[in-house]
Amino acid sequence: MPENIEQMEDLSSTEKDRLAQTGLEVEMKNRSGSFFQVDQDIRQAASLEKGIEVLAIGEALRKYDWLKDHYWKLVPRDKDQYTKFVADQPDPRGFVIIARKGSRTVYPLQACLFLSKTPVQHVHNLIIAEEGAELHIISGCASASYTKTGSHVGVSEFYVGKGARVTSTMIHNWGEEISVFPRSAALVEEDGVFLSNYVCMQPVRKVQMAPVAYLKGKNAIARFSSITVTTPGSYMDLGSVVHLSAEGASAELLTRAITTGGTLISRGMIEGEVGHTKGHIECKGLILRDGVIHAIPEIKGNVVDTELSHEAAVGKIARDEIEYLMSRGLDEGVATATIIRGFLDVKIAGLPDVLQKQIDAAIDAAEKSGF
């Protein structure tokens, strides 16, 4: 076990590989800023982009008094035992990203949260995109190869200003005995766009989360996509909730889930609170080996002019699809893997290429290990 991990470069190649699988660039290539936290120690917080700040949360709260208007304003401190645990920390950890009015990142900012020795890692992140700003964040969360047990509790609050665009892509690579409880919420103002992507293809003991987006401004958009493979012994309870609270607001929740023996609960909830709003939930699940995929899509309309719909399908790969590819000369295994790869191949509209490639790479890695 390494004694001192000062920077990402100090990690052993095994750990670097584990982080690379979560989309992190240890050498910062194609990245415009970085935050690196090992257990509770913040090793790095830096931005290369003008108009964008990446700070450790403690420092940020001391530096900018106005942040208190954003701190614990979207996620309630007493939401559950995990938020209470984070709120009770005397010295908060995590990052603050502030994208000033009109600024934009050419390359994504990366946030790396690495669980090494501590039993519980806690973080609290604030992401603020002011009017017209464009911000792309990739958070890679991983545990060290030698870390067998532990928990990660993360609170994230996103503020997407007028006309701003924020994408948050989270790729997880935990261990079999790690439990993870992210608690996130986003406030999206007029013409703002919030895209949240979650990818987890590796074993984990338990992940439970249900991020919430409040679309408070006219024509605000939220899109949540989740692509997961649940392995035996893994339990994932993933949901997303969107409140359509302004005219023209729209939301889409998309899930592609595979189980190879684990349990996945896919919850989705869209509430149309005012007129001229739209929402759609799509959940597709493939059961490759006996496991559970439980889709719970919910739509709730409170007014005449809200259009909400959902579709969910869970099953196996159709025999005629496999045979179709076999008739082209692929053996059954390759035919099946090719179809699965296609099933997971979701192109997320509005996501920068470099991040789409990162998602594709995570799926490729899962494909290589034979799902």
Partner 1 sequence: MLDIEDLHVEIGGKEVLHDINLHIGEGETHVLMGPNGSGKTTLLRAIMGFAGLTLTEGRITFKGHDITRIPLHERAKMGMGMLFQRPPTIAGLKLGKLLEVTSGGDLKKVEEYSQYLHMDNFLDRSINLGFSGGEIKRSEVLQLMIQKPDFVMLDEPESGVDLENISLIGNAIAKLVDKDVHIVNRKKSGLVITHTGYILDYLDADFGHVMCDGVFRCHGNPREILKVIKTSGYKECLACQKI
Chosen residue from 320, 349, 353, 368 binding partner 1 by CB under 8 A:
320
Q: Which is nearer to partner 1, 90 or 342 (CB)?
A: 342
What three-state secondary structure class fits 274?
coil
Closest CA to 164 of 140, 147, 189, 186: 189
Instruction: Identify whether the C-beta of residue 165 lies closer than 8 Å to the C-beta of residue 134.
Output: yes
Q: Which residues of 194-229 are buried (b: 16+ CB within 10 A; e: fewer)?
A: bbbbbbbbbbbbbbbbbbbbbbbbbbbbbbbbbbbb
- Minimum distance, C-beta of residue 327 to partner 1, in the bound complex (Å): 5
17, amino acid identity: D
Instruction: Identify whether the C-beta of residue 206 lies closer than 8 Å to the C-beta of residue 177.
Output: no
Q: x/- string (CB under 8 A) for partner 1, residues 275-314?
A: ---------x------------------------------
Q: x/- string (CB under 8 A) for partner 1, residues 340-359?
A: -xxxxxx-------------
User: Is 370 a binder of partner 1 (CB under 8 A)?
Assistant: no
Chosen residue from 329, 349, 368, 370 binding partner 1 by CB under 8 A:
329
Chosen residue from 304, 331, 349, 353 binding partner 1 by CB under 8 A:
331
User: Is 316 a binder of partner 1 (CB under 8 A)?
Assistant: no
Using the contact rule CB under 8 A, the part of the chain among 28-36, 59-67, 96-104, 321-329 near partner 1 is 321-329
Tell me which residues in 169-228 interact with partner 1 (CB under 8 A).
Answer: none
Q: Which is nearer to partner 1, 59 or 345 (CB)?
A: 345
Q: Which is nearer to partner 1, 176 or 321 (CB)?
A: 321
Chosen residue from 28, 296, 314, 326 binding partner 1 by CB under 8 A:
326
User: Is 325 a binder of partner 1 (CB under 8 A)?
Assistant: yes
- Longest Cα pair distance anywhere in the chain, in angstroms? 66
CB atoms within 10 A of CB 365: 15
Chosen residue from 17, 247, 298, 321 binding partner 1 by CB under 8 A:
321
Tell me which residues in 223-262 interact with partner 1 (CB under 8 A).
Answer: 256
Give the number of residues in contact with partner 1, rule: CB under 8 A: 26
What dihedral do alpha carbons 181, 183, 72, 132 form, nearest 10°?
140
Q: What is the DSSP string of 180-210?
A: EEEEEEEEE-TT-EEEEEEEE-S--SEEEE-
Chosen residue from 200, 335, 355, 363 binding partner 1 by CB under 8 A:
335
Q: Beginning with the edge strand found earlier in the chain, give each strand of the sheet holding 193-200 in spatial order.
A: 41-47, 33-38, 109-115, 134-143, 165-173, 193-200, 221-230, 250-259, 277-287, 306-315
Burial of 66 (0-12, 13-18, 19+ CB in 10 A): exposed
User: Is 106 a binder of partner 1 (CB under 8 A)?
Assistant: no
**Residues binding partner 1 (CB under 8 A):** 256, 284, 318-321, 323-332, 334-335, 338-339, 341-346
